[in-house]
Amino acid sequence: MSKKMGTKLGLVSIMALSLVTAACGSKNAASGVPEDGKPMPISIMSMYFTPEPPGADNVIVQEIEKKTNTDLNITWVSPNSYADKVNVTLASGEIPDLMLVDDPFSAQVRTMVQQGAFWDLTSYIQDYPNLSGFPEESWINTKQADGKNYGIPRVRPVEGGPFLFLRKDWLDNVGMEIPETTDEFYEVLNAFTKNDPDGNGKDDTIGFTGLVNQNNIGSYGAIVSAFTQNTGDWKDVDGKLVNVNLMPEMREGLEWLSKAYAEGLISEDLAVLKESQTKDQLNAGRAGAAVNTVEAAWEPMEANLKSNPDADFLPLTSMNGWTNKDGGFFGMFVIPKTVSEEKMKKLLELMDYGASEEGGTLASYGLEGVHYTEENGIKLATEQAKTDIVASQALGQIFMYYDKYMRAYRGGMPQEILDRNKKIIDERAEISVPDKAIGLYSETNISVGPELAKNLQDMKTKIILGKQSLSDWDNYVEKLKNDSDLQKITDELNQAYVARQAAQ
């Protein structure tokens, strides 16, 4: 372990212990629960995906407060800086009553769980029908190393997650069929880049827009996983987890990407591109394919329909016969032990309301007749919804009603697109592959895993950009196979994998 990492974990441990000490201190300490039925003050930290976050005077925030007898103080953080904000907030010890941690299995979160900094919610959830009604995967996949739940999953469907989508109207314009293999997809991206798919007579389109992250391959994961036929970094091969980076299929995926980059079919600035910039390219009609959830393909489609009535962004069902199954969560909300048990139960009650059909609809769509109208079961957002910042991308990031077709629908979407999306989700469910390693505990991975992941991604990015050759990748993989840290991680994850299977 590096001195920097050791110091960081030491500080985390100290802060976690201070939280436990504070929580177990004087019996006369204030519980945080107001008397005489007054609204309970509750602090929350979460992220938002709208242009601006809702303010304290937001009409929906006020309505939720009335429904739940609470006084909500929400700190909204941009997704571009959320991970850093989580790290700083956890280390400070000044943790809100409810805090979204985007990575439930980061070294920082795991260490604080071990030190008892958060409430163990395992035995309480059964008392809250809407929360306990989340998919089984949502709760199983957010369990910590001791098999307990220390947070409320920010629930997501297991089907319809981030995968490839493309411009169906461009496909028609260049006379091509929907691609089913990576070879066919390559040819489509080539045509989208070089054959003037929008018919404007200009060389101003790109096949695929996407970015890589510091620790993983980001938007290009769907393409690489079509080669490895796996979701995540660890594949079950004959009952044992094997790191996919050591497999020849990973090399094939990187070769595909490096060739696509060299020919200008994917984003030139993928190493520094931001998510908002990829959206801008799609919304402006400059990119023909990307990766996102099924319903998110409606956003650029809606933007392009304003100038092109034929615009059509189609989510793909699979690639090389593969598609991913999600873990049923996107982060989780933790409750620090500085919160009293009485208030903790009130927080669960608040989140249970948000997980009800009434609460979830209110958070994501607002007030009927004001923020949306409903026709044939379709909610159509009004201009007032935009004015009041009412959307699933805002308060819907905290309060969400679970529906297996959650990723089929977005406000303003016409019935035919909704029906198509549901069909795609059903088709994916027949073949989707889950990440077998979600939540598995490896002590070695906590200390050295982030550095290994960063080094791996640095190498992958260099391969894609042509700064390193595939021969360099081969040499790198041979070194990885003999890396003692990776060997220990593999052994520890497999031990946890066997234990989890035995417990199920």
Query: Per residue in 395-426, pLDDT tens?
Result: 999 999 999 998 998 877 899 999 999 999 99
- 432 assigned to some structural domain: no
What is the pLDDT averaged over residues 358-370? 96
- Do residue 211 and residue 275 come from a single domain? yes
List, in order, residues 6 or more apart from 119 with CB less than 8 Å away: 150, 334, 335, 336, 337, 339, 344
Placement of tokens 């504070």 in the chain: 22
Q: How far apart are the first and last CA of the chain?
A: 33
CA–CA distance, 50 with 368 (Å, rounded to integer): 20
Check whether 330 has a pLDDT greater than 70: yes
The residue among 262, 270, 285 whose CA lies nearest residue 190 is 262
- Do residue 315 and residue 334 come from a single domain? no
- Do residue 363 and residue 452 come from a single domain? no
Q: What is the pLDDT of residue 55?
A: 93
Total tally of structural domains belonging to the chain: 3
- Do residue 69 and residue 211 come from a single domain? no
Give the CATH number for residue 302. 3.40.190.10
Placement of tokens 């997650």 in the chain: 161
- Do residue 149 and residue 88 come from a single domain? yes
Q: What is the pLDDT of residue 17?
A: 43
Longest dimension (CA), the chain: 75
- 422 assigned to some structural domain: no
Q: Which of 296, 325, 354 is the last residue of a domain?
A: 325
- 206 assigned to some structural domain: yes
- Do residue 20 and residue 153 come from a single domain? yes
Q: Which of 14-18, 90-94, 181-185 has the lowest mean pLDDT?
A: 14-18
pLDDT bucket at 18, cuts 50 / 70 / 90: very low
Q: What is the pLDDT of residue 504?
A: 64
Check whether 261 has a pLDDT greater than 50: yes
- 191 assigned to some structural domain: yes
The residue among 176, 420, 163, 170 whose CA lies nearest residue 304 is 170
In percent, the amount of the chain with pLDDT more than 70 equals 93
CA–CA distance, 212 with 195 (Å, rounded to integer): 26
CA–CA distance, 348 with 124 (Å, rounded to integer): 9
- Do residue 179 and residue 292 come from a single domain? yes
- Do residue 154 and residue 168 come from a single domain? no
Check whether 29 has a pLDDT greater than 60: no
Placement of tokens 């044939």 in the chain: 376
Please check whether residue 382 is in contact with residue 375, taking contact to mean a CB–CB distance below 8 angstroms.
Answer: no
- 416 assigned to some structural domain: no
Domain carrying residue 37 = 3-158+327-407
- Do residue 150 and residue 184 come from a single domain? no
Angle, helices 484-503/443-465, rounded to nearest 10 degrees: 120
Q: What is the pLDDT of residue 33?
A: 65
Q: Per DSSP, which regions of 286-394 are E strands? A: 289-292, 313-315, 324-325, 329-334, 372-375, 378-381
The structure's pTM equals 0.77
Q: Which of 291, 308, 325 is the last residue of a domain?
A: 325
- Do residue 185 and residue 119 come from a single domain? no
Check whether 89 has a pLDDT greater than 70: yes
CA torsion sign for 446, 447, 449, 454 is positive
Check whether 501 has a pLDDT greater than 90: no
- Do residue 239 and residue 358 come from a single domain? no
H or E element at residue 73: strand 70-77
Check whether 112 has a pLDDT greater than 50: yes
Chain segment 36-64, per-residue pLDDT in tens: 789 999 999 999 999 999 999 999 999 99
Q: Which of 387, 407, 427 is the last residue of a domain?
A: 407
Q: How many helices (H) and strands (E) does the chain have?
A: 19, 14
- 150 assigned to some structural domain: yes
- Do residue 145 and residue 26 come from a single domain? yes
Residue 482 burial (CB count, 10 A): 8
- 424 assigned to some structural domain: no
